[in-house]
């Protein structure tokens, strides 16, 4: 395993080690935005989507989680995504950023030019106190290099102020479940998570990227397409 994959594995393991004992006790972070109606916050993100076959496997995984606790929020298949980069962090104060949507598109177009398609192996899950995430492991450094190019181009274009405000994105995960209520049976949920931790889920070939306006959850009702980019 390469150094970058070892680092990514360590990152996912650290998330698990921090959160799984808490989830096992029923100590979760419930997402109040999901229970309070439509999310008014917006950002602009560059994302990749799973193909239908992969989405079906992710739905099977969600079924197993729902068996353990059906009251949690299951990310709709239409909303599943892997974030390549959040161009600015989702915020209620989004109007100045959204006014420059065309500038963001121009910057992304320059950054993705010549970038090849790449594969991400999806292997099991990790968890935070707020969500369950599918672990992604890129097969090469294309995603890492693309994120570096995007950050560099955005800063050169004067669009870097909103980057990495909540955290610096280093993973290739997809969120499949969010906690909206304390688990009814924490031990059962913890056992289901542990059973799925290393379940292979297939490979995601990233050959198309979508630049979109989005809320925190990439909800279909909130997403507004800006531009699509085909990777060579």
pLDDT band at residue 181 under the 50/70/90 scheme:
very high
The pTM of this model reads: 0.94
How many CB atoms lie under 10 A from the CB of residue 69?
20
Under 8 Å between Cβ of 138 and 144: yes
Q: What is the pLDDT of residue 119?
A: 98
E strand residue ranges, the chain: 42-48, 73-74, 82-91, 118-127, 131-138, 174-178, 200-206, 208-214, 224-230
- Per DSSP, the three-state class of 72 is coil
Q: What is the pLDDT of residue 28?
A: 97
- Per DSSP, the three-state class of 49 is coil
The mean per-residue pLDDT over the stretch 80-102 comes to 93
More confident residue, 165 or 126: 126
pLDDT tens sequence across 144-171: 999 999 999 999 999 987 776 565 788 9
The mean per-residue pLDDT over the stretch 127-134 comes to 98
pLDDT higher than threshold 90 for residue 39:
no
pLDDT higher than threshold 90 for residue 72:
yes
Considering only 86-95, 119-128, 176-185, 202-211, which range has the smallest mean pLDDT? 86-95
DSSP state of 116: P
Q: What is the pLDDT of residue 164?
A: 63
The mean per-residue pLDDT over the stretch 52-81 comes to 96
DSSP state of 145: H
Domains and CATH numbers, the chain: 3-230 (3.90.1140.10)
Q: What is the pLDDT of residue 34?
A: 87
More confident residue, 20 or 170: 20
Q: Which residues of 163-201 are buried (b: 16+ CB within 10 A; e: fewer)?
A: beeeeeeebbbbbbbbbbeebeebeebbebbeebbebeb
């Amino acid at each position: 395993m390469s150094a970058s994959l070892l680092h990514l594995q360590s990152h996912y393991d650290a998330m698990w080690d921090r959160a799984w004992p808490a989830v096992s006790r029923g100590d979760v972070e419930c997402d109040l935005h999901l229970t309070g109606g439509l999310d008014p916050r917006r950002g602009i993100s560059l994302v990749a989507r799973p193909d239908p076959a992969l989405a079906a496997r992710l739905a099977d995984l969600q079924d197993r989680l729902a068996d353990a606790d059906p009251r949690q929020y299951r990310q709709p298949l239409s909303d599943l995504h892997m974030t390549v980069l959040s161009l600015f962090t989702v915020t209620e104060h989004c109007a100045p950023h959204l006014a420059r949507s065309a500038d963001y598109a121009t910057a992304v177009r320059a950054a993705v030019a010549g970038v090849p398609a790449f594969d991400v192996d999806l292997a099991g899950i990790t968890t935070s106190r707020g969500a369950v995430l599918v672990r992604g492991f890129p097969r090469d450094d294309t995603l890492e290099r693309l994120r570096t190019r995007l950050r560099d181009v955005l800063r050169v274009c004067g669009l870097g102020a909103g980057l990495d405000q909540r955290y610096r994105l280093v993973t290739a995960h997809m969120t499949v479940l969010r906690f909206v209520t304390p688990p009814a049976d924490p031990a059962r949920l913890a056992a289901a998570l542990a059973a799925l931790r290393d379940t292979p889920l297939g490979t995601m070939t990233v050959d198309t990227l979508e630049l979109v306006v989005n809320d925190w959850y990439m909800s279909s009702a909130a997403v507004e397409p800006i531009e699509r980019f085909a990777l060579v």
